[in-house]
Structure 1
Amino acid sequence: FLHQSWRPERSVVLGFLEEAEPWRLRSPQFPSKVGGKPAWLSQRGLPSLPELECETCRLPMVFLLQVYAPVSGQDRTFHRTLFLFCCKTPECYTHNDSRFFRSQLPRKNEFYPYDPPPGFMLPASGVKLCWVCGCPGNKACSRCHTVTYCGKHHQTLHWKHTHKKECCSQDTTSPFLFPESELVTEPEEEEEEEEGKEEDTKEAEREDGGALSETDLEEMAMCETEDTKVFQKFKKKIAPEPHQVVRYSRGGSPLWVSSQHIPSDQDIPPCTCGAKRVFEFQVVTAH
């Protein structure tokens, strides 16, 4: 949930996974992506190791996805990316077990040109990043001094996996990361036609006297709990695009999968400035 002063855009944009050339998923391309290492927007103000630790097991969290979502009409959010991290330890899967970070830059900044460059360009990063997770890391391998880590845990993990045999080589893929894919988007289609069909069906049932008796309807109503209703609504909504993994609707509403654990206004902390936050996007498990 984010600061509500940004103009809401109620329409829903869906995100889907798609394979892409590696260069398309690097910082200068301002990607939206899932897995791999984070493509940091800014090289300053990166989250620290304590900020990326799981509060339960104290191990580093893994990068899940990022969404490039500039806010139009405000220079300070000309570039804006949202980063989501989670813990890979199953025992840590609890309520609010993920970590969210926002990075934003004005159009004129020290990292990217004011106008898009004419061709492909990959500026070198001056920030040392962990080979395993891609987060800030200044702890270098004592043997090759070229590979760096965010901490001892990831240095040990890399050494046991490949680095002991392939020191000085960075061609292998980190086993800690999720598979990398680009997040491509398309708007969600309206449901007016489908809703119209449902109304026609209900009208036909009324004209025919209804296919079910009053007793049958009462029994169905008793069996259909509130949680069932919420889940059925969720399934119906995603059925046209079952492979969606992100639903983006800044200022809109979440699509709940269950009536349980829905946060109240009191559960959502205000912005640091004191303003109320609003919904921006949600992650959906691919089917």
Structure 2
Amino acid sequence: MTAVDGNALLERLSGKLDGIRGRLTPNAPMDQITWFRTGGPAELLFQPADEDDLSAFLKVLPEDVPVTVVGVGSNLLVRDGGIPGVVVRLSARGFGQAEVVSENRIRAGAAIPDKRLAAAALEAGIGGFHFYHGIPGSIGGALRMNAGANGVETRARVIEVHAVDRQGNRVTLSNDEMGYSYRHSSAPKDLVFTAAVFEGFPEDSATIRAEMDAVQHHRETVQPIKEKTGGSTFKNPEGTSAWKEVDRAGCRGLTIGGAQMSPMHCNFMINTGTATSHDLETLGETVRARVLENSGVRLEWEIKRIGLFRPGQEVQEFLGRMI
């Protein structure tokens, strides 16, 4: 028995969904979406046909029904009890286009993979987007968490962001209104980002390609990209690197259940094949505790953790138990 009941929620909404064109899936298996390949179901997964459809759906969705937005699931840990309410996942057909709108500007839908935006910029001869070639996520997630790599962050490229709020209203935010800081945006949490306008600079294609190749080589050399992982587990603390603190605390290769801190890059957590989300989160909190004890550094999660714990499998922040 799951902790959520999507059929009951769908029945509750049945009289409100006339004209909604997107796909609604009750009890949608999130372990087929997340890169960790773990987690319980979404109570109700909604994949809107386009921005109009998303707006119409949110206008009729009762206020007490929670809404969670997910992308490609690369930097996401869904807990084993599932996600209550509606999970919105933007479709590639409705939100997956990239369009060059001026000499140095590209409008990109929030469902576009970061690598595709980098490729579109390469084709247009627009520099400054090579870093996206190494980020395994979608543009919506990059906008929300100010994703970055190789010394460049999303905030350096964003001009404006388009979104729909919880009431179904369309909203446009400037770069300043996004409130960017390291791996963070202070934009309202209820916004569903739908697209953004980015600006780069003129650069020849050979230079852009070389920069993208360097990014790819770095990833293949130092990161466990062929494993079931969620990317960087912890944010880099000020003045140091997360992986260095994890290593110094003796946590490289540390294993709990089917979850392991990668021996290749110890700020990457991997599912070795049998991990549950409980294993992964327990491992992460154990590492945080060991690092705090070893160096006094308080690591903060970069991976987004959402959903409900299974009863009796709650994971407490900063486990005191050493494994």
TM-score by length of 1: 0.27
Q: Higher Cα Rg: structure 1 or 2?
A: 1
Larger RCO (alpha carbons 8 Å, 6+ apart): 1
Q: Which has the higher helix share?
A: 2
TM-score by length of 2: 0.24
